[in-house]
Amino acid sequence: MSGDPEQEYFSDGISEDIITDLSKLSELNVIARNSSFTYKGKPVDVKRVGSELGVRYVLEGSVRKAGNRVRVTGQLIDAESGTHIWADRFDRDLTDIFAVQDELTQEIISALKIKLSEGEKALLVAGGTRNVEAHDLFLRGRELMFGSKRDRDIFEQFMSCFGRAIELDPNYASAYAGLGMGYAFDYQNHWSDAPEKSLDRAQRLADEAIAKDDKDAFARFVAAVVATWKKDYARWANESDKALALNPNYALALLTRGNVHIYTGEPTKAIPYIERGMRLDPGPVQGQYLHFLGTAYFVAGEYETAATYFKDRITVNPTTDLSRALLASALGHLGRHEEARQVWHELKEINPRYSYADHFARLPFKNSADADKLTDGLRKTGLAE
């Protein structure tokens, strides 16, 4: 509410930190940032929000940053009755922002009469940084890295933010994890001059983040992402499990945990994890969950169901190429060759240089027979040699 659009990352960062803290509590189902933020800056009907997200309580508030002062307001509302459960306002020096977040989280826990385990009490006070400038840089970097626009220039900006945060606090685990995630993205997108080195860099940084703070769920998630592309299936599963132990509501960690099963030949075991991730992130930005549900059913040989999910993903993300490629393959297995060719025509219009052979080869399948199903479906339709 500062009136400065450049400060939006700060209020978003505070909101996300509160979401993360509340997500550590096993008694709560906490909706993920992507879905929560669809209501940001809009007049909302709390009962409607509760219905759309499937939640009992809604926390809303504001952040106003001016000079070295910050004001955080919050109110907790029962979405069924519309009654206020709790409300408070915090006016502090900016250096006290961490204390404000801690107090706000504790007051919500008290208002909801949640009993914390000793482990949860420890998690709520663990980790992070107490360096306000380092934290501010991390928030800037995180907002850029997970924003809607990502290219080489944005890559360099968020990597610079994380690097400067580390200079200010060499023990800031999340900043190391941010750098690691950045290199993992670079490995896939080829933004740097040496993307072939980026996956090893990502692993070193994830390991360093965990060494700094082994209770940082984000660091564990980044380690799982790196293990995905290194096809280190044991670590992929282990780091996902550790992220979920630290944050039971971590939707993306549920996705990585489910994906282990897809790519190691147990696709039906993946489905509950992915569906739980969708439950915690039910908003419109859920295309990746739809894609991986489709992939799970595809690997299981349930091509009709797979095709439905791939079509849903295309509706949500109209420019996707991989979901279209897998949809064409599923339709090939179903004998719907003309429909498959139409999907392929759409794909090539979106990405004229698309190579199914290159794309499929990058997918981290453990069993070649599962990977071969992708090409076999295209071959049945005459789209692959």
User: Using one digit for the tens of pLDDT, what is the confidence trace for 31-66?
Assistant: 998 899 888 888 889 999 999 999 999 999 888 888
What pLDDT, in 10s, does the model give residues 231-259? 999 999 999 999 999 999 999 999 999 99
What pLDDT, in 10s, does the model give residues 85-124? 999 999 999 888 888 888 988 999 999 898 888 888 888 8
Out of 3.40.50.150, 3.40.640.10, 3.30.450.70, 3.40.50.11830, select the CATH number for domain 5-125: 3.40.50.11830
Tokens 């075991």, residue located: 269
Decide: 331 and 381 in contact? Cβ < 8 Å.
yes
Decide: 202 and 222 in contact? Cβ < 8 Å.
yes
Give the Cα separation of 376 and 385 in Å (integer).
9
| Residue 77 three-state SS | strand
Q: How many angstroms separate the Cα of 153 from the Cα of each of 44, 92, 191, 336?
A: 35, 35, 9, 43
- Torsion from C-alpha of 131, 133, 134, 137, nearest 10 degrees: 160
Percentage with pLDDT > 70 across the chain: 98
Residues 6 or more apart whose Cβ sits within 8 Å of residue 300: 267, 268
* Domain ranges for the chain: 5-125, 129-246, 248-385
| Residue 151 three-state SS | coil
Listing DSSP states for 304-335 in one string gives HHHHHHHHHHHHHSTT-SHHHHHHHHHHHHTT
Percentage with pLDDT > 90 across the chain: 75
Give the Cα separation of 177 and 261 in Å (integer).
24
The highest-level CATH class for domain 129-246 is: mainly alpha
> Checking phi first, is residue 339 left (phi over 0); if not, alpha (psi -120 to 50) or beta?
alpha
| Residue 59 three-state SS | strand
What pLDDT, in 10s, does the model give residues 6-30? 678 888 888 888 999 999 998 999 9
| Domains 5-125 and 129-246 in one fold | no
Residues 6 or more apart whose Cβ sits within 8 Å of residue 8: 143
- The fold of 248-385 is 1.25.40
